[in-house]
Amino acid sequence: MMNLFSKNKTVKSPLATSPQLITTPLNYQITYNPLPHKSINQLPPQVKEQLEELYNLIQKQPQQTIQPLLDLITQYPNVPVFYNYLNVAYEMTGQPEKAYTILKAVYQKHPDYLFARTNYAFYCLKNHLPEKIPVIFDHHFDLKSLYPQRKVFHITEFTAFTTVMALYHHEIGRQPAAEKYYQLLKQIVPNNQMTKTVKRYLHPSLLQRLLMQLVQIWATRQRCQPPSRSSDYFKHF
């Protein structure tokens, strides 16, 4: 699969507001209104304000958010949003190993946190481990069945989950199911980057298909060739 997942990491503003409430063809609604994680509601007001500032800063200067987020995690280890933001900051500053460490930490510590699930799922898809996806989501492929007590989901929750499901079903060869999830994305978030990513997988252009074929041919030839001195040379770097 193409390496597009770092662009798909979801950072939701905990306090951003919008009046829109969307009724989906499924049995739940989608909102742009804030749906803060329960752990955020327990934070002091000044920390909530800091979190909103970090959300704005991470889009432009992610490096400057890393130390404040580390400090917040030390002080408030049970707030998964801090881990999610730090994971994104590491990704955006080109530190994939640290990003993965945080990714695993939040998934293990907060397995019910949706963005911990979706971000770990993106990692597994990127690394060709689709068999892990059903386990991550407790064998549920619908938001309502995954969280039966909820009637409303935030737009970013819907987008991240539906993107994972579209890419997962595409990866395992279940194209009708993948198309179903893609059509939901087209209906609700047609201009979202994740929707465009799914489209490139499910409906690649002629040029994209040719490029993928060339990559597959190159990869096959590389596997068939014996190690050379030049390949040994690059092992030192």
Which pLDDT does position 36 carry in this prediction? 87
Tell me: pLDDT of 78 over 70.
yes
What is the secondary structure of 90-132 as a DSSP string?
A: HHHTT-HHHHHHHHHHHHHH-TT-HHHHHHHHHHHHHTT-GGG
Tell me: pLDDT of 110 over 70.
yes
Domain ranges for the chain: 5-204
CATH code of 5-204, in short, is 1.25.40.10
Work out the mean pLDDT of the chain and round it to a whole number.
84
Question: Which segments within 42-155 are labelled E, that is strand?
Answer: 152-154
- For the entire predicted model, the pTM comes to 0.78
Band (pLDDT 50/70/90 cuts) for residue 217 is confident
Band (pLDDT 50/70/90 cuts) for residue 220 is low
Q: How many CB atoms lie within 10 A of CB 77?
A: 12
- Asked whether 151 and 26 are in contact (CB, 8 A), the reply is no
Which pLDDT does position 10 carry in this prediction? 47
Tell me: pLDDT of 42 over 60.
yes
State pLDDT tens for residues 111-144: 999 999 999 999 999 999 999 999 999 999 999 9
Which comes out higher in pLDDT, residue 16 or 157?
157
Categorise residue 130: left if φ over 0, alpha if ψ from -120 to 50, beta otherwise: alpha
